[in-house]
């Protein structure tokens, strides 16, 4: 099968292979990002944030790939970047277990590996930037417990369960729910943070006559898909508490309209990842191996004071 081309034109970039092939030219530092998928608006924004941060440095060549939501492709992408001799690899692993060893091999070769949002189930990487997914999930459960007065059934729209955010956003929610015996899980439906898939899963739940009093969506894309599905079915989302994660502009608008109850800020970590990469390129040392970025709960009480992540 013919190998697909890296998705460089989407941001007007070029791989510039002559940087690798022509030793007479002054070599730029090449930073590569192996992205999971560009079909998700949050992940596309993550690439843009990296590109914008690196654009301020003419000595940096930034390239990225699009695995199309396929773990095997993402592994191939990081291996191809390593074979080209990039200076730094950045990635957000779709599968914490399956990508552990491929990332470890690249790290052992001496190529710094920076992980954004998602980590691997191992310790062989250089730097990891994220928010506290478990704490966010617990806050979401606490919020819905208050909204439901401690009693009700919750439909969970799940992020990719092989990724660490998907795992922690489920575990943290379930841990907190155990403290509220009147709250039950109506169903957990995997929607992979895809809006279209969330629409399908909520429509499926309605067709099954599944009883639920609230929706915990593990991303804003899924929350917005749920709202669309409810409206299409003639259900008023303002009567069903819904929480999301990310706090994108559409989520702010939905909170203003009363369709979405709450979201939790979850930045793309592109700027923080670029900062770490530039620090390494400039010969500096990273203060910590893992960087936790604060998250803010956003409701109608503070929606006008908090800027969306994009």
Q: Domain of 177: which CATH number?
A: 3.40.50.2300
Q: Is residue 301 part of a domain?
A: no
Whether residue 110 sits in one domain with residue 32:
yes
Phi, psi at 303, each rounded to 5°: -60, -30
Q: Is residue 3 part of a domain?
A: no
User: Which tokens go with 76?
Assistant: 């191939």
Whether residue 119 sits in one domain with residue 33:
yes
Whether residue 125 sits in one domain with residue 46:
yes
Whether residue 280 sits in one domain with residue 259:
no
Whether residue 65 sits in one domain with residue 40:
yes
Whether residue 260 sits in one domain with residue 271:
no
Residue 90, strand partner residues: 33, 114
Digit-by-digit pLDDT tens for the chain (310 residues) are 333 434 433 333 333 333 344 433 457 999 999 999 999 999 999 999 999 999 999 999 999 999 999 999 999 999 999 999 999 999 999 999 999 999 999 999 999 999 999 999 999 999 999 999 999 999 999 999 999 999 999 999 999 999 999 999 999 999 999 999 999 999 999 999 999 999 999 999 999 999 999 999 999 999 999 999 999 999 999 999 999 999 999 999 999 999 999 999 999 999 999 999 999 999 999 999 999 999 999 999 999 999 999 9
Q: Is residue 310 part of a domain?
A: no
Q: Is residue 175 part of a domain?
A: yes
To 10 degrees, what angle do helices 41-54 and 220-232 make? 150
Whether residue 123 sits in one domain with residue 224:
no
Residue 24 sits in which domain range?
A: 9-130+267-294
Whether residue 34 sits in one domain with residue 15:
yes
Residue that is last in its domain, among 225, 249, 264: 264
pTM for the model stands at 0.90
Whether residue 287 sits in one domain with residue 257:
no
Whether residue 283 sits in one domain with residue 179:
no
Question: Based on the structure, what is the number of domains in the chain?
Answer: 2
């Amino acid at each position: 099968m013919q190998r697909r081309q890296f998705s460089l034109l989407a941001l007007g970039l070029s791989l510039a292979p002559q940087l690798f092939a022509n030793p007479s030219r002054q070599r730029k530092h090449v930073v590569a990002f192996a992205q999971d998928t560009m079909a998700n608006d949050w992940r596309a924004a993550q690439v843009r944030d990296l590109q914008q941060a690196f654009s301020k440095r003419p000595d940096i060549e930034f390239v990225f790939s699009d695995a199309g939501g396929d773990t095997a492709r993402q592994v191939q992408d990081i291996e191809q970047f390593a074979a080209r001799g990039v200076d730094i690899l950045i990635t957000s692993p779709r599968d914490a277990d399956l990508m552990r060893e491929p990332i470890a091999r690249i790290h052992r070769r001496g190529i710094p590996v920076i992980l954004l949002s998602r980590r691997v189930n191992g310790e062989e990487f250089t730097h990891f930037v994220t928010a506290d997914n478990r704490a966010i999930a617990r806050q979401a459960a606490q919020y819905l417990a208050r909204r439901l007065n401690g009693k009700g059934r919750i439909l969970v729209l799940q992020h990719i369960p092989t990724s660490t955010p998907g795992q922690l956003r489920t575990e943290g929610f379930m841990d907190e729910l155990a403290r509220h015996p009147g709250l039950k899980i109506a169903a957990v439906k995997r929607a992979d943070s895809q809006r279209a898939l969330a629409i399908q899963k909520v429509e499926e739940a309605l067709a099954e006559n599944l009883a639920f009093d609230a929706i915990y969506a593990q991303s804003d894309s899924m929350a917005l898909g749920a709202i669309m599905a409810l409206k299409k079915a003639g259900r008023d989302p303002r009567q069903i508490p819904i929480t999301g994660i990310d706090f994108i502009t559409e989520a702010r608008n939905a909170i203003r309209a009363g369709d979405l109850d709450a979201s939790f800020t979850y930045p793309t970590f592109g700027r923080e990842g670029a900062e770490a990469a530039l620090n390494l390129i400039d010969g500096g040392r990273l203060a910590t191996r893992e960087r936790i970025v604060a998250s803010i709960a956003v409701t109608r009480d503070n929606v006008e004071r908090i800027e969306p992540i994009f």
